[in-house]
Structure 1
Amino acid sequence: MNKPVYLDYAATTPVDPSVAEEMTKYLTLDGVFGNPASRSHMYGWQAEAAVEQARRQVAQLIGADPREIVWTSGATESDNLAIKGAVGGWERPHIITSLIEHKAVLDTCKWLEQRGVEVTWLQPQGDGRILPDQVENALQGNTVLVSLMLVNNELGCVTDVAAIGALLRDRGVLFHVDAAQAAGKLPLNVAELSVDLMSLSGHKVYGPKGVGALYVRRSPDVRIEAQIHGGGHERGMRSGTLPTHQIVGMGKAFALAGDLLEEEMGSLEQLRADFLAQLADLDGVTLNGSAQHRVPGIVNLSFDRVEAESLMLGLRELAVSSGSACASATMEPSFVLRGIGLNDEQAHRALRFSFGRFTSSDDVKFASKHIIDVVSRLRAVR
């Protein structure tokens, strides 16, 4: 049986072959396998040099100083560290977020709310975006942090983070942005965005799973409380032996993403246009999320008179998703789609298609034809 065409790049990306090749140099005795914290011999020095090189590569993609990059196990840990770390030490803090953030943000904020932290939950616009005025109107005298994602992982819509960051900077409120779905898909510059904390993931950018980073602004220093203790690694913000091979992989992946950014944005835009054009003859198809303010690689569609679960079962030759991978264990309709105003029935009819570096025009052509055939067949038997 042939493998299905992979159209779930928003869930995870395959490791780029050049990244995998680089990672193998940091595992065995004949490579650089040492502990980066071992500073009394060459093995440790070489590992530390590799880690610092990767730190520079990640920093370069987002316009940061390498000293502002803190290694984590992934964007989920980065979100936890940023949010919990920012409110620690405040007596009665208030934070602002939205109803359609990644579960790593939602569950962290709910956990804090149960422990006395006041949380304002913003309702997104119908296109999935949060507007600067919404944030401004929610600010209070005790607001410590605002946490919003740059690119929504289910809809692909882009929030105007720069405008929100500017108004928060003027008021001295910390701004955390989950950019896991934005890195390598959009030009990023933390200074231009006025961001204080930014979460990043390796496996969303053709790097390995199990590694991520948190940007923590310096000048002036943003102070966050560590959530993992035991050695004071990463400037005291995140203890633990660093996985050199994974970090090297993330660094290489981010460097590659920077080199290919303009080219890939153009190719993904073309794939998206072709995909939607080829589905144009199929009636009852609705685009969820902003048609204008979005990244090209994510397309969320609802299909009238067809449930997504039945459609996915029929689309055996495609690997797609009915929502975020973080919520795929439940059959509940997508909280993101409900958050932008879809009812349960409408949300149950939606699928997310996401393209990436290794998606070809033939893949898109095959996928659109397969979708039309399966949807038409399912509608005929209703």
Structure 2
Amino acid sequence: MIYLDNSATTKPHPSVVKSFKEVTNKYYANPSSIHQFGGETEKLLQRAKQQAANLLGVSEQEVIFTSGGTEGNNTAIKGIALQHQNRGRHIITSEIEHPSVEEACRGLEQLGFEVTYLPVNEDGVVSITDVKSAIREDTILISLMHVNNEIGSIQPVEEVASIAKQYPKLFFHVDNVQGAGKVPLKLGNNGIDLCTFSGHKIHGLKGTGILYIKKGTTMFPLLHGGEQESGHRSGTENLAGAVSMVKALRLIKERERTEADKLRQLLGYLRDRLETMDGIKVNTPRNSAPHIMNFSVLGTKPEVLIHMLGEEEIYISTKSACSSKQKDESKILAACGWGTDRNVSALRVSLSYDNTKEEIDTFLSALQRSIKQFKEVME
């Protein structure tokens, strides 16, 4: 099997699975229980939080364990909006955000909030000038993804953070689900107030994640109850999930330090080969994340090619797994200004540090065969 759909989800690392099983079997007490066993589990939870904070370069009070990217994004966006709506009801985001950000904003619009959706250029990047121009007196939040999940474009979040920092009453949220472990991003006193991470995108487990909430950031909680996670996320903590999330975060950061160049070279090799193939247009910009390659096979149906490749146990995708069953046209590519023929024929290959050049060669050969077979059938 050749798995090239790592932006949808990654294979859990064996040591991550092992850590989850061990904690589940050994530390199953409720961390809120006042007996000794509960105290032991609470200590392990705090240790996990300290380790996560060290890996992210923040304080442990700023780390909240979540169930993943969707919860993290919704908690950040709705939490800020509901808490600070008396001061302003204007939010800024972009036209190419993940559905968990876009739909959260659409939901807030139904409650009377106003959202500015910034356009992007053909590389899928927002303009700093547009960001500055969009900020108003009643703007309370900017939410942008670091790396686009469909085409791999990198947003200038550090520059946006420095702009947001000039407005003390304006919060800045970064969706770092696709960037974590691939494109470095420093947190701390840089203007980023909230940042979302997801475990299953970094060889962790589904249902695990982290939301960084900068100290002093006040939010309306989406979940009320026992005041766990500093009141930001009530509910009995998923201790095994938290420990496994930290394990995955540590492992992916180690690989980022040692193997990032190799991953980028592999993506470059894939791009070079694709650009020599007739009828293929590469949509991913050159200055992109090192693991995502989006391209269009003009005149074909992506779902047919995906199934043909799947019969050879080669797995790729079309777009975000969270929107892959929606209408054919890629909203992301349309926002970049490409034509319909390109937007409806796009495929996505997303790599992990485990993929090899040999796998890429096998995939490319299978892709060429599939395209040829498709055209023969359609003639």
Q: Same fold (TM over 0.5)?
A: yes
Are residues 1:105 and 2:106 paired?
no
Further displaced range: 6-15 or 355-364: 355-364
Cα separation, partners in 2 of 1:131 and 1:289, compared to 1, 3 Å: farther
Please, which of 299, 303, 326 is the counterpart of residue 305 of structure 1?
Answer: 299
Are residues 1:183 and 2:180 paired?
yes
Please, which of 58, 63, 70 is the counterpart of residue 69 of structure 1?
Answer: 63
Please, which of 232, 236, 243 is the counterpart of residue 227 of structure 2?
Answer: 232
Q: 1:192 offset after TM fit, Å?
A: 6.4
Partner letter of residue 138 of structure 2? N
Are residues 1:37 and 2:39 paired?
no
SS of 1:203's equivalent? helix
Are residues 1:51 and 2:45 paired?
yes
Runs (4+) of structure 1 exceeding 4 A deviation are none
Residue in structure 2 matched with residue 241 of structure 1 by the alignment: 236
Residue in structure 2 matched with residue 119 of structure 1 by the alignment: 115
SS of 2:200's equivalent? coil
Backbone CA RMSD of aligned residues: 1.5
Q: 1:280 offset after TM fit, Å?
A: 3.9
Distance 2:182 2:94 in 1: 22
Give the conservation status (yes or no) of the 8 Å contact 1:75–1:199.
yes
Q: 1:63 offset after TM fit, Å?
A: 1.8
Further displaced range: 31-40 or 114-123: 31-40
Q: 1:262 offset after TM fit, Å?
A: 2.0
Any residues of structure 2 matched to 1:185-334 within 5 Å, and which?
185-191=182-188, 193-218=190-215, 221-292=216-287, 294-316=288-310, 317=312, 318-334=314-330
SS of 2:92's equivalent? strand
Give the conservation status (yes or no) of the 8 Å contact 1:161–1:193.
no
Please, which of 139, 157, 169 is the counterpart of residue 135 of structure 2?
Answer: 139
Residue in structure 2 matched with residue 371 of structure 1 by the alignment: 367
Q: 1:193 offset after TM fit, Å?
A: 4.6
Distance 2:232 2:298 in 1: 49
SS of 2:174's equivalent? strand
SS of 2:125's equivalent? coil
Q: 1:238 offset after TM fit, Å?
A: 0.7
CA deviations 1:40-95 (Å, max 9, x no partner) are 21x22222222222223322333211210111111111111111110114234100
SS of 1:315's equivalent? helix
Partner letter of residue 305 of structure 1? G
Q: 1:151 offset after TM fit, Å?
A: 0.4
Instruction: Structure 2: state its 5+ residue gaps.
Output: none
Distance 1:15 1:58 in 2: 18
Are residues 1:7 and 2:1 paired?
no
Are residues 1:355 and 2:345 paired?
no
SS of 1:325's equivalent? coil
SS of 2:188's equivalent? helix
Cα separation, partners in 2 of 1:284 and 1:57, compared to 1, 3 Å: farther
Aligned sequence identity (%): 34
SS of 1:67's equivalent? helix
Give the conservation status (yes or no) of the 8 Å contact 1:12–1:204.
yes
Distance 2:47 2:150 in 1: 33
